Chains A and B, each alone.
Chain A
Amino acid sequence: MAGLIRSRAVLWRLLGLQASWSYERMQGTGVGWAIEPELRARFGADSARYREALGRAAMFFNANPFLAAAAIGAEARAEVDEVPGPQVERLRTALCGPLGALGDRLFWAGVVPALGAAAIIAVTLGAGVWAALGVVLLHNALRLLLGRSLLGLGWAHGLRIGGAITATSIPRSADRAVAAAAFLCTAAVPIAARWLVPGGLGQEVVVVTAFMAAALLLRALLGPRGSARRLTVLGAVVVLVWHWINP
């Protein structure tokens, strides 16, 4: 069977997958919106069939937005293959967890922090504007190519998409991306510190190191309540009060 008829329209609409994100259906309405051109192309002549499939496509869904293309391709294929409605719904539900976990690991714990940290290092090396441009170009090239590939994979494998994704290099790539992020994020810390606090081992470096040690200790003691942002604001208040008392 040939591929998706409206794959380009579906891919473009995937960029706005989360525009109507709500706590009730999360990305569900966005999935319905993204898959709509394909359903119209397939079932446009049969209004009842089109509406039934579109209503199903807009039900609850939540996964990583950059990997949702796989679910959309698979759902489109299942609808075209006349898979019973309850089975299509089970497919969507079954894909939420794995696509969410894998995509979050690949992008939010891997690619995005790795790019952010690499851009920090690049700025300290004098890359200037190119660092920001590189982040945007690399991320978007990757997510668009991956989206196109996953849409095709979902269409090719339909109900068996879960196994098909496991067989790709994505799980291994996610592990590598997490390792790269771990390396780059920690490497960026001393490099950024040197760039933001120049001047060797002077008084300023001592102040920064002392605050970092205190904040890391408090963070370990307080757990999630001791976020770096809260501790920073607390430290800032202490500094302001100190300077107010000792002008």
Chain B
Amino acid sequence: MSWDSILLLLLWGTMAGVDLVSLPQGLLGRPLVAGTVAGLLLGDLDVGLRMGVVFELFALDVLPVGAARYPDFGPATVASVVWATGLDWRVGLGPAALLGLALAWAGGRSMEGLRRANGRRLRLLEPQVDGGDSRALVRLQWAGLAGDAARAALLTAAGIGAALLGRAAFTVPASAGRSLGLVIIAGGLVAALGGAGRRTPSGSARIWLGLGLAAGLVAVWLA
């Protein structure tokens, strides 16, 4: 992999990570989007799409509301695509997605750290903020944005490094890789089902859960 590719992936992973909360929350960090672009950058769109779909299934189980801790799938998906690129996706998906799940968890943790750092900066500038000093607000905004960019860049860099190291150092036997991939896929499907149920706890919308599942099964049967 060339340094140009690594730099582009680092930039894209950072953008996807910053998009999660800070700017612009435009769904650039959704796994399907992050995976597709990473696959395009690496010239392996099929792997990008497949990793994107798997992590999108996991992301359907996430409700990113308020102060809740939630995983950061953007940089994680980029790193997973790096691992799986050029491999038979059935074998590469499992170990790559395991790395991605760990990174997504670490991303969620790092977001908590960033929020505490924002709070520390706020306490330092509190008299100015309460006094209506616009420069203090600008400083807080830019510092928060820079902190998030650094967080996302570090996460992406660590992920790309771990993916390249993992590919080189750990040779997973094909049968183990396939089994691992199946477990990850099954986990994603459970996440999507569980998320749909959690977001629709009661009321008439629950009917749509059953109708959707039935429609999906019919579509598969007809295909």
Contact = CB atoms under 8 A, between A and B. Distances in A.
Interface of A: 15-16, 18-26, 29-30, 32-33, 36, 40, 50-55, 58, 62, 64-66, 100, 104, 108-109, 112-113, 115-117, 119-120, 123-124, 128-129, 131-132, 135-136, 139-140, 143, 175, 178-197, 204, 207-209, 211-212, 215-216, 219, 227-229, 231-233, 235-236, 239-240, 242-243, 247
Interface in B138-155: 138, 140-145, 148
B213 interface: yes
Interface in B178-198: 178-180, 182-196
Nearest to B59: A116
For the residues of B in contact with A, the DSSP-based class is helix
Contacts of A209: 186
B27 interface: yes
Interface stretch (B2-10, B114-122, B160-168): B114-122
B57 to A, nearest CB: 6
B217 A119 contact: no
A28 B103 CA distance: 29
Contact of B212 (A187, A229, A231, A235): A187
A227 B21 CA distance: 22
Given A29-B137, A232-B188, 4 more contacts: A15-B26, A26-B67, A119-B30, A183-B209
A215 B186 contact: yes
A40 B186 contact: no
Nearest to B94: A236
